[in-house]
Homo-oligomer: A and B are copies of this chain.
Amino acid sequence: MSLIVQKYGGTSVGSIERIHLVAQRVAEARRGGDDLVVVLSAMSGETDRLLLLAHEVTDNPDERELDMLLSTGERVTIALLAMDLRAMGINARSFTGRQVGIITDSAHTKARIARVTADRIREALGEGIVPVVAGFQGINEQSDVTTLGRGGSDLTAVALAAALKADRCVIYTDVEGVYTADPNIVPSARRLDKVSYEEMLELASLGAKVLQTRSVEFAAKHGVPVEVKSTFKEGQGTLVTTEDEDMERLTVSGVSGDRNQAKITIVGVPDRPGIAARIFGPVAEADIVVDMIIQNVSQASLTDISFTVPRADLAKAMNLVQRVAKDIEAKSVTVTEAIAKVSLVGVGMRSHSGVAARMFEVLSREGVNIMMISTSEIKISCVIDEKYLELATRALHAAFGLDGTGSES
């Protein structure tokens, strides 16, 4: 008999009919003999509805009060699912973040989990009850309600699985798992049976929306096996787990594309020590994440510095950068919005040399100019002209043997 934590996202509980489908799935698993804990998100759209109400009240709602407001969404779904299960003869009980003992810091709207007591959940499991837990929420040491940020229900599920030493945490969602590339761009993309925590982390931070980044970090740290699969379709999903030999046999596990970046270039920067700090200090203080930076070779004591920022933060960043550029007497500031980042991810890169060279060669053969490059142990990213993103993704997917033929060209 295993202990499984199941998590269902907002679209999986988006209506009474879908909640009933989830109830049937839970009942089935329960009758199969497993001990279950179910973690739920709010109905899809509910968090946005509540946010809209808050923003009708004031442009800048207090964050403690926002958490009080937003935490109601999950309470509705857990109550409804528990009712449904009980009506089906399954002894289910709903529990809030507080009742579970999800203790967080006080960073309202983006709280971090400090510890998970889970006493009432252990007790409930001991009595044969199926606990239905509100995701996304906890309480701080003052017993005030906190929320864990967007996608926080994944984190609730993983943290609870770790605290209970569950055999597996299954994240039910509206996709069938993790793919070698976005199937909308690469029709031949395949679902991966297994992916390592590190690869998943790189993919999540590159914009793959399958799992929230922090939940992957948490799973890696506590060694929780996480399976991502579809609520609506039967069949295997993707298991996120510790690296193994299977994974290393493949050079590259996936190709990922990200359009959410913009490039800022400061032209004619005097090449003196301390200039970088003067540029990036204010940007960091404004909580803008700079992803890549390149600096040209200095000519006549002048250099150009380019860097990428999230497109949503571009206006804020430009404001700061133009002020700094004036202060340091740079010549001008230019912006390129139409860029994209294409990345290869795979733990196999550690033991396979030449991946970067091969990537550049493939892109060059397709006539794609590389503007910026960054690498990590298991990832290579290139910034390219946005219009080439689909072409580059498909070419790399084929070149690294991900098309399902199994042969690396």
Contact = CB atoms under 8 A, between A and B. Distances in A.
A216 to B, nearest CB: 30
Given A79-B69, A83-B62, A20 B57 contact: yes
B94 A68 contact: yes
A86 B62 contact: yes
A27 to B, nearest CB: 14
15 contacts: A16-B53, A53-B76, A57-B83, A57-B87, A58-B83, A58-B84, A58-B86, A58-B87, A60-B87, A65-B79, A65-B80, A66-B83, A69-B80, A96-B145, A99-B144
A61 interface: yes
Nearest to A134: B68
A54 B77 CA distance: 10
A71 interface: yes
Nearest to A64: B93
B54 A80 contact: yes
Q: Summarize A's interface: helix, strand, loop or mixed.
A: helix
Among A79, A80, A86, the most chain B Cβ lie within 10 Å of the Cβ of A79
A341 interface: no
A72 interface: yes
A118 to B, nearest CB: 14
The 6 closest A-B pairs by CB, nearest first: A69-B79, A58-B87, A68-B79, A72-B72, A16-B56, A65-B83
Interface string A143-154: 111000000000
A263 interface: no
A75 B65 contact: no
Given A19-B57, A96-B145, 8 more contacts: A58-B87, A62-B82, A62-B87, A65-B80, A65-B83, A69-B75, A72-B75, A99-B144
A50 interface: yes
Interface in A73-101: 75-76, 78-80, 82-84, 86-87, 93-94, 96, 98-99
Contact of A57 (B16, B64, B143): B16
A16 B86 CA distance: 36
A61 B75 contact: no
